[in-house]
Amino acid sequence: MEKNNVDYSPLLSPRGDETASKTVSSSLVSATKWTLKFFICVIFVLWTAFIFFQPAKPVKNMFSKWNEFSRNTPFGVTGSIFVVFTAPFLIIAFLAIAHLNLTGEDQLQGNKSSKHPRFRLWTFPVLIKGPFGVVSATEFTGIVLFLLYVFWATYAYTVDALGSIPESDRTSFRAKSMFMMEIMGLRSGAIGLMCLAFLFVPISRGSVLLRYIDIPFEHATRYHVWLGHLTMVIFTIHGLLYVVAWAMDGRLVQELLQWKDIGIANLPGVISLLAGLLMWVTSLPGVRTWNFELFFYTHQLYVVFVVFLALHVGDFIFTMAAGGIFLFLLDRFLRFCQSRRRVTVISSRCLPCGTVELVLSKPQNLRYNALSFIFVQVRELSWLQWHPFSVSSSPLDGKHHLAVLIKVLGKWTEKLRQRITDIDAQKDLSVITTSVEGPYGHEVPYHLMYENLILVAGGIGLSPFLAILSDILHRVREGKPCQPRNILLVWAVKNSSELPLLSTIDMETICPSFSDNVNIDIRIYVTRESDPPLEEGYTYKPIKSSFCPMASDYGMSVLVGTGDNFWSGLYVISSTVGFVTLLALLYGYYITPFHIDIWWYKGLLYVICMVASVVIFGGSVVVLWHNWEMKSQLKDKSNNVKVDDKIHQNGSLAPKDLSQVSIEKSTIISYGSRPDFKEIYESMSEKWGLVDVGVIVCGPSTLQTSVAEEIRSHSMTRQRHHPIFHFHSHSFDL
């Protein structure tokens, strides 16, 4: 007797309840995230609007009344300025922490590509050639707003100063000039202080603010450079105006050496400005290229710059810029803690082109994406130098390792290659002592958001694209969220000796049937060779490699701002609460009761509170975080977690030559020519149609300029059925 296919499950099935519960939970999380975004936007707009319009008389008068109102409180004027200038910074950071924790680890589900292609301000290049490099429409807007603030504030303060010049006939032109210069010197210092409030935010590598707006440190570094130039120009004008005024009055030396107890202390300001000028001069492109070590070491004078600035202006004025500096201190202390760990080098090898590959040990719970980078220190080469490198492995390549490709370009990298070559015979990598900071990178792996990708690499710029290709292939094989379906890799190299870099990834081994789901085309341009070096049958020299078993005790530390959302958030919150608590105790039980009025002394105490809160309160969380990491590693050991077998079979350790690459049929190698991006964009436009195309560039500035210029040109003249190209840069230049 044939049975009917009847579903006898109850009408009110538990599965239905679970689905409804998940839907309600998802809706609640989404609503909470939008609420957090709304409050962050409102606070930020109001805060920046107040800063922008502060030079105006109505706002300045209102702020003066607010300070007078709070003068008799236990915290005095310092407390009122803290509420207006520093508190919004910290509140936004708290809300961003909550948003990141709600978003979770994998953000791909909520960031699917749009079915309707459209221009985006942050991926449309506006400025191509110039002192700023390639600048998107969003970045251009930020530059304009900053410059507009500087010009507007200068104008408002100048008009106010002119109106306050004594009108007495006895006042000489010389006296009026000195008065005007001193007033404008004071006002230019205030403008510089507002720029300083933002200066340290972009270089907070694991900053929760950068993670929230998804700006990686490599991009934010440019903003620090721009702000640094602007800030130092303003502070230099600030100092020169005072110097000229004092020289005209015949009291230059006396004023420069003056260290007041009540009021501005000049000598600390001179020391701070000299430290800033030294950092500024050695950071100029020509000097930095000529001697990177000089730039690196002199930039450590930021400690002198900040501390003596606090001594110069006192606590309440220093508070105006304290928010950004405090977030930088949080990041710097966490980086210090992470860098204390010695990291095992699982393997190393030297490719024929001279590039060095290092495979480093990492714990399973250290999160990163395919566009991440790390800072590496090799103690045998230098105890102070840290160098950034793009990660060349995907997080899906293995749970316990991470690889980087290092091109020999300077003294440090040459010493590294020589050391690896020297120890090849010993097969003992324990003589290389490395420390790592990071990984850092985009919060959202945007390379997975485009169905169509163009990857443009120059030389060693191929490194992050190897990670991207591996990441996409792993996701296709494992059925994880992944948008890319058409990928074009354009790689320009000087010599054919660099081609083995491409052989460090075996696509067929990672995903045997990837061609059924992803179309990958590779175009290689060898610019300095007109013909192939050998006929068919040419194989590259064997790649020297060294290997040592991984010791899990020496994996990378998870103490990084881009790591676990819960612990990194708790670290920021506890340090901030500790900072406010220490300030309350300081003013409530010492400064106010004992009538401490020495400005520079209160400025020093303020800085001490900032540092102490990070070390004591934040350090307590770091200890708990570290203990949690140790327990996680012990749990892995108890489960007999070992090095991934794939690292030996198809990962970075297995040397291959280009002739073994499975997609050689879709690889075109052109000798003696350079990429014609106009032709590439036109052909892809006809092939792909009206879609969003992500164009990611990693290479020298000339390559970025060429790609961005062609994208802008194409966007201006594109036809309606052609794709929209979105420019992304992944080049790190510090």
Q: Which of 67-71, 139-143, 163-167 has the lowest mean pLDDT?
A: 163-167
Sheet holding 345-350, edge to edge: 401-406, 356-361, 345-350, 544-547
Of 577, 584, 79, 626, nearest to 330 by C-alpha is 577
pLDDT beyond 80 at 352: no
Looking at residue 544, its pLDDT comes to 47
pTM across the whole model: 0.88
pLDDT at residue 168 in the model: 66
State the DSSP H helix or E strand holding residue 727, giving kind and residue range, or none if neither: strand 724-729
How far apart CA 561 and CA 399 sit, in angstroms, is: 20
Q: What is the pLDDT of residues 572-589, one digit of tens each?
A: 999 999 999 999 999 999
Q: What is the mean pLDDT of residues 518-534?
A: 85
As a whole number of angstroms, the distance between CA 693 and CA 449 comes to 10
Q: Of 401-405, 441-445, 468-472, 658-662, which range is least confident? A: 658-662
- pLDDT-based confidence at 658, cuts 50/70/90? very low
What's the confidence (pLDDT) of residue 455?
95
* Rounded to 5°, angle at Cα 313 from 309 and 316: 115
d(CA 361, CA 403): 9
Average pLDDT of span 673-677: 91
Question: Does 55 have pLDDT greater than 80?
Answer: yes
Beta-bridge partners for 347: 359, 547
Percentages (nearest 5) of helix, strand, coil residues in the chain: 55, 10, 30
Question: Greater confidence, 189 or 170?
Answer: 189
E strand or H helix at 347? strand 345-350
CB 373 within 8 A of CB 388: yes
Nearest to 400 by CA among 555, 505, 510: 555
Question: What secondary structure, in 3-state letters, does 221-260 show?
Answer: HHHHHHHHHHHHHHHHHHHHHHHHHHHHCCCHHHHHCCCC
Structure tokens that stand for 720 in this block: 């309606």
- Give the residue with greater pLDDT, 25 vs 648: 25
Interval 292-304: pLDDT, tens: 888 888 999 999 9
What's the first-to-final CA gap in the chain, in angstroms? 78
Residue 639 CA to residue 627 CA, distance in Å, equals 19
Contact 315, 76 (CB under 8 A): no
Spatial distance between the Cα atoms of 474 and 381, rounded to a whole number of angstroms? 36
Side-chain-side CA neighbours of 664 within 13 Å: the count stands at 8
464 cis-preceded (ω within 30 degrees of 0): no
Strands of 505-609, DSSP E: 519-526, 544-547
Indicate the pLDDT class of residue 286, thresholds 50, 70 and 90: confident
List the single range of 187-196, 402-411, 639-648, 705-714 with lowest mean pLDDT: 639-648
CATH code of the domain made up of 342-531? 2.40.30.10
Question: Which residue type, as a one-letter code, is found at position 426?
Answer: Q
Tell whether the model's pLDDT for residue 324 goes beyond 50.
Answer: yes
Residue 63 has pLDDT above 80, yes or no: yes
User: Residue holding tokens 């001193």?
Assistant: 182
Per the model's pLDDT, the better-predicted residue between 658 and 14 turns out to be 14
Residue 30 has pLDDT above 70, yes or no: yes
Q: What percentage of the chain carries pLDDT values higher than 90?
A: 48
Residues 234-266: tens digit of each pLDDT: 999 999 999 999 999 999 999 999 999 999 999
Q: How far apart are CA 212 and CA 92, in angstroms?
A: 10
pLDDT of residue 288: 84
Instruction: Please say if the pLDDT value at position 661 is more than 50.
Output: no
Residue 81 corresponds to which amino acid? I
- Alpha-carbon distance of 258 to 235, in angstroms, equals 19
b/e code 545-577 from CB counts within 10 Å (16+ = b): bbbbebebebbbbbbbbbbbbebbbbbbbbbbe
The closest alpha carbon to 156, from 114, 179, 190, 126, belongs to: 190
pLDDT digits (tens, 9 = 90+) for 101-143: 988 755 555 455 556 788 889 999 999 988 888 999 999 999 9
Q: Looking at residue 83, what DSSP letter applies?
A: I
> What DSSP assignment string belongs to 419-475?
HHHHHTTTT-GGG--EEEEEEE--SS-GGGS-SEEEEEEEGGGGHHHHHHHHHHHHH
Residue 449 predicted with pLDDT over 50: yes
What pLDDT is stored for residue 10 in this prediction? 45
Q: Which 8-state DSSP code applies to residue 86?
A: I
Average pLDDT, the chain: 84
The pLDDT value recorded for residue 639 is: 60
Residue 551 confidence (pLDDT) above 60: no
Band (pLDDT 50/70/90 cuts) for residue 12 is: very low
- CA 694 vs. chain centroid, Å, equals 20
pLDDT in tens, 417-443: 888 877 665 555 556 788 999 899 888
